[in-house]
């Protein structure tokens, strides 16, 4: 999919097979609002109907797919094959919060999302840190010029993962996937219950063959979907994974 300003469609998929987040309606409303404010650049289709939408024919009509708060096994093998074909053709992937708690049966999906969810302590306040502040996807969290990159207070479920995504940031994957880029981390000493150590990763992205993948562990509560920095990062993730342009420049 070459970079362009052509209008495109985004599939927001929120099927759950176990835990179901109460913020799902708020998130769907936020994605619809982002589409409405895009001046026709993109539209969203929100669904939990995997049978209809996870086919090669249906997915070919979308530029990127958002896995939104999914839990456990939400796709059959045939539907997962359709997703793999979509990604192989350069389609984009955005994962939000519990998306890392889906499809444990498929190691490929773990690489796409970046890491599988393990557990989280009780929701609490933590301090976010911006990493790779020059990246297009980090920009919403960077303060105005001259203010410095201070820690950002945030209240959420702080996810621990079965493997540390930061370990995937140093070298390419054994399958040739590009190194993972950490965009946001949380100070592991600012809350109780971290097992990830220093620089506990929270949001990251990577080139996945000819596709692009973005994931954020933020977004447990309704309030996140009314927070400008968070929703702006989601908007940018849509454009970045869809390989679109903004203000005449390719989103890189």
Query: Per-domain residue ranges for the chain?
Result: 8-250
**Low-confidence stretches of the chain (pLDDT beneath 50):** 1-2, 248-250
67 to 40, 71, 200, 215, 223: CA distances (angstroms): 22, 10, 22, 9, 19
Give burial (CB, 10 Å; 0-12/13-18/19+) of 45: middle
Strand runs (DSSP E) across 179-219, as ranges? 181-186, 200-208, 211-216
- Position 246 scores a pLDDT of 73
pTM for this model (two decimals): 0.94
Residue holding tokens 């809350």? 191
- Position 146 scores a pLDDT of 53
Q: Is 203 helix (H, G, I), strand (E, B) or coil?
A: strand
Which CATH number does the domain 8-250 belong to among 3.40.50.11240, 2.60.120.380, 3.30.750.210, 3.40.50.880? 3.40.50.880
- Position 150 scores a pLDDT of 78
Residues 6+ apart with CB under 8 A from 143: 149, 150
- Position 167 scores a pLDDT of 80
* Beta pairing class for 249-250 and 245-246: antiparallel
- Position 227 scores a pLDDT of 97
In whole angstroms, how large is the CA radius of gyration of the chain?
Answer: 17
For residue 63, count other CB atoms closer than 10 A to its CB: 22
* Beta pairing class for 152-156 and 124-130: antiparallel
Q: Pick from 121, 14, 143, 1: which is nearest to 61 by CA?
A: 1
CA 63 – CA 92 distance, rounded (Å): 6
CB 108 within 8 A of CB 174: no
66 to 27, 122, 250: CA distances (angstroms): 11, 26, 20
């Amino acid at each position: 999919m070459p970079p362009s300003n052509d209008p495109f469609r985004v599939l927001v998929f929120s099927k759950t097979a176990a835990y179901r987040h109460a913020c799902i309606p708020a998130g769907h409303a936020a994605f619809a609002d982002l589409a409405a404010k895009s001046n026709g650049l993109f539209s969203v289709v929100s669904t939990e109907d995997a049978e209809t939408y996870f086919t090669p024919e249906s997915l070919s009509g979308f530029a990127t797919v958002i896995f939104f708060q999914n839990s456990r096994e939400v796709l059959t093998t045939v539907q997962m094959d359709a997703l793999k074909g979509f990604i192989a053709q350069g389609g984009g992937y955005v994962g939000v919060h519990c998306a890392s708690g889906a499809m444990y049966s498929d190691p490929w999906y773990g690489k796409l999302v970046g890491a599988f969810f393990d557990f989280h302590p009780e929701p609490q306040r933590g301090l976010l840190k911006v990493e790779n502040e020059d990246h297009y996807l980090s920009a919403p969290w960077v303060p105005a010029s001259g203010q410095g990159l201070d820690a950002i207070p945030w209240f959420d479920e702080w996810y621990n993962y079965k493997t540390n995504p930061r370990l995937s940031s140093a070298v390419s994957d054994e399958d040739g996937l590009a190194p993972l880029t950490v965009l946001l981390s949380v100070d592991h000493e600012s809350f109780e219950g971290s097992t990830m150590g220093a620089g506990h990763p929270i949001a990251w992205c990577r080139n996945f063959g000819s596709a692009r993948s973005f994931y954020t562990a933020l977004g447990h509560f309704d309030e996140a979907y009314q927070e400008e920095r968070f929703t702006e990062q989601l908007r940018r993730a849509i454009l970045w994974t869809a390989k679109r342009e903004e203000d005449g420049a390719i989103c890189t």
